[in-house]
Structure 1
Amino acid sequence: MAKAPTVEDVAAHAGVSRQTVSNVLNTPEVVRPATKERVLEAIDALGYRRHAAARRLRLRRSSTIGIRLDPYVGGISGVVLDRFVHAITEHASERGMRMLVYAARDTDEELARLSELWEGSEIDAAIITGTFRDDPRVGHLDAEGLPFVSFGRPWGEDDIADPRHLWVDVDGAAGTRAATQYALGAGDHVTFFGWPEGSGTGDDRERGWQETIRGAGARGGRLTADDSVPRARVAMEVALAAGLETDALVCASDSLAVGALLALADARRVLPVIGFDNTPTAEALGFSSVEQRPEDVATAVLELLMGPTGDVVAPRRLEAGSAHALITPELVVR
């Protein structure tokens, strides 16, 4: 790996002293315009990035964004959040920011930890994940004045369209529309296998299936189970025993898809099954699934959070539509 350029490298390239480079970076008003221009050209030519510690001292900021590391619960679909955390860490580093990953067992503990980090000037902003209807974190962070952006819509009556609340989400309805359209190639009866009602994310994914079924004049039934392979398997076994007739299955997650496939295998039935999350399990077992593109989510999160200046800014009111980003997922057919 090539060695990163240093201040000394910039100084040598520009033909100035190390102190002059430091002045250009920290007190540019004391440097003659021609000299400053020469140093800036050297910085661009070498691809020099100011050391994060120096930047933090100059700005009196931590240059750090906090994000919760969710408790490990096993299963299949958690890999999407893992990919997001890796991506946000890499992209934040490219912008001269650091990620502080902290643990919390529940929402109350998460809010207490965020308050502690914010009051101690250890973070400049936060990213929250796993949003749900009437999420209490939204109002709490508003009151604290802590800049934040959520991966997932707040799903509340008052905040989903409020431009003060920055969020990036995956367009779940678009994903299931694509999955259902593909499934209709197997026949005009497509069943949706989702989560119990009340989940913002789950209801959004079901909406895409419903709209596509209605638009095509097709038929469709609905199965539900909590997001676990064993429970999905049992729910599918019960449906098959009751005489389920369908041409294909569109699922709200890969966990539900795997449970359905296991039950179908036991019953010696073959149906097209489409998952959601495009986990390594979907690739290994060879079933189609909707890719959420968490790397694109990470990029959009930082663009909203850091604004046009390249620094995290205080909570601000933006125009409706500019405070939110919906990432269109992609159906991966296997």
Structure 2
Amino acid sequence: MSHPATVADVARAAGVSRQTVSNVLNRPEVVRPSTRSRVQAAVQELGYRPHASARRLRTRQSSTLGVRLEPVHGISGAVLDRFLHALVDSADERGMRILLFTAEDVDDELAHIEHLVEGSDVDGFVLTSTFHGDPRPAWLGTRGVPFVMFGRPWGLPDVDAAPHPWVDVDGRAGLHDATTHLLALGHRRIGFLGWPSHSGQGDERRRGWQGAMPPDEPLDALDLTCEDDVAAARRTVTGALDGGARFDALVCASDTLALGARFALGASVPVVGYDDTPVAEALGISSVEQPLVEVASAAVELLMGSGRSVLPASTGHRLLAPRVVWRA
């Protein structure tokens, strides 16, 4: 075909009307599966690409999702980069774009969100770095702005019944699996190095370690906390050792903490981090890997269902399983 394929070309090849082609592209759930498959085959064969600008004018949607670009803290900041890359890929498969913006804090983020909403620059948002008392869900929910959270709505009595969609990785299961494996190898005094309390993610990871440890093993002396900083982690573990603590192994809430623990303990004591960053891989530190491609795909699906436009309202959640990457 000498000219770019059009909707009429696809309709002719599939033996359907142009409206049916439009429905398959924009509202596939209303088309019978056999017809949908025939149209999709014609689209692929002809190499048809919908005219994005025309579709935005017709639907009065921007085909854009907004995401705050978080400041990088510690070596685990690489995780957000991997998530954003996966999110761009998942959004692109639905004909959506990702608009990144920066903000100094949550109040500044809400100001940017308000500006983008008033200008109709985005159809919805993907919120990251959720926390107790997070004001963003209520702000967006009361204004009817579609959004999905990467992270649970911490603090709700029942996060599974949240009135807005979220997707998260089961950190409790990840640390439980890591601790269980270390116990099976014969280690008994397995410590935990995490963040101070009232961190939703950190508390869940601590519960995973607690739930795996033998009931007769006193945990107070094995439970360490500090800020997510390599030097702070090294000082904390060194201080515990100087105070008489003994560790057969240590599981951590992040790779940043695991790196500091490795400096304090040396390579002879197994250390497990969380996030499986390039630093953990380079230094041979075992770590819990988050399935970020699946997280991004689930986030887009919760926002868009099976179609190609953002849903006016959405609920539901996905809790995905991580895996431990073991290194010698």
Q: Would you call these one fold, judging by a TM-score over 0.5? A: yes
Match of 1:326 among 302, 307, 319: 319
Distance of 1:39 and 1:209 partners within structure 2 = 51
Distance of 2:170 and 2:319 partners within structure 1 = 6
- Aligned partner of 1:225 in structure 2 is 226
- Aligned partner of 2:110 in structure 1 is 111
Q: Supply the AA of the counterpart residue of 1:84.
A: F
- Secondary structure of 1:295's counterpart equals helix
Identical pairs, percent? 48
1:272 and 2:307 aligned: no
Number of matched pairs: 309
Q: Supply the AA of the counterpart residue of 2:241.
A: L
CA gap of 1:183–1:10, structure 2 versus 1, over 3 A, is farther
Moved over 6 A (4+): 20-23, 36-40
CA contact (8 A) 1:115 1:144 kept: no
- Aligned partner of 1:32 in structure 2 is none
Distance of 1:162 and 1:83 partners within structure 2 = 29
**TM-score where L is the length of structure 2:** 0.86
**TM-score where L is the length of structure 1:** 0.85
CA gap of 1:9–1:117, structure 2 versus 1, over 3 A, is closer
CA contact (8 A) 1:64 1:125 kept: yes
Deviations 1:264-322 (A, max 9, x none): 23xxx721111111000111000110001111110110111111333211124x4xxxx
Distance of 1:158 and 1:39 partners within structure 2 = 46
The aligned runs of 1:297-312 (5 Å cut-off) are 297-312=295-310
CA gap of 1:139–1:15, structure 2 versus 1, over 3 A, is closer
CA contact (8 A) 2:194 2:226 kept: yes
Larger deviation: 201-210 or 233-242?
233-242
Distance of 1:23 and 1:155 partners within structure 2 = 43
Distance of 2:203 and 2:13 partners within structure 1 = 62
Gaps of 5+ in 1: 29-35
Shift of 1:227: 0.5
CA contact (8 A) 1:190 1:219 kept: no
Deviations 1:220-246 (A, max 9, x none): 411111001011011111111112212
- Aligned partner of 1:164 in structure 2 is 163
CA gap of 1:257–1:12, structure 2 versus 1, over 3 A, is closer
CA contact (8 A) 2:7 2:18 kept: no
Shift of 1:48: 2.5
Shift of 1:54: 2.0
Q: Supply the AA of the counterpart residue of 1:225.
A: C
- Aligned partner of 1:175 in structure 2 is 174
Larger deviation: 181-190 or 133-142?
181-190
Q: Supply the AA of the counterpart residue of 1:250.
A: V
The aligned runs of 1:130-279 (5 Å cut-off) are 130-157=129-156, 160-184=159-183, 185-214=185-214, 217-220=216-219, 221-265=222-266, 270-279=268-277
- Aligned partner of 2:29 in structure 1 is none
Shift of 1:50: 1.1
Distance of 1:329 and 1:87 partners within structure 2 = 16
Distance of 1:288 and 1:40 partners within structure 2 = 43
Distance of 1:291 and 1:222 partners within structure 2 = 22
Match of 1:6 among 4, 27, 32: 4
CA contact (8 A) 2:178 2:272 kept: yes
Distance of 1:153 and 1:9 partners within structure 2 = 41
Distance of 2:46 and 2:158 partners within structure 1 = 45
Q: Supply the AA of the counterpart residue of 2:188.
A: D
Q: Supply the AA of the counterpart residue of 1:292.
A: Q
Shift of 1:24: 5.3
CA gap of 1:48–1:159, structure 2 versus 1, over 3 A, is farther
- Aligned partner of 1:57 in structure 2 is 57
Q: Supply the AA of the counterpart residue of 2:234.
A: R
Gaps of 5+ in 2: 26-34
The aligned runs of 1:88-99 (5 Å cut-off) are 88-99=87-98
Q: Supply the AA of the counterpart residue of 2:174.
A: G
Deviations 1:65-88 (A, max 9, x none): 000011234x20111111111110
CA contact (8 A) 1:183 1:249 kept: no
Distance of 1:196 and 1:106 partners within structure 2 = 20
Distance of 2:311 and 2:57 partners within structure 1 = 17
- Aligned partner of 2:66 in structure 1 is 66
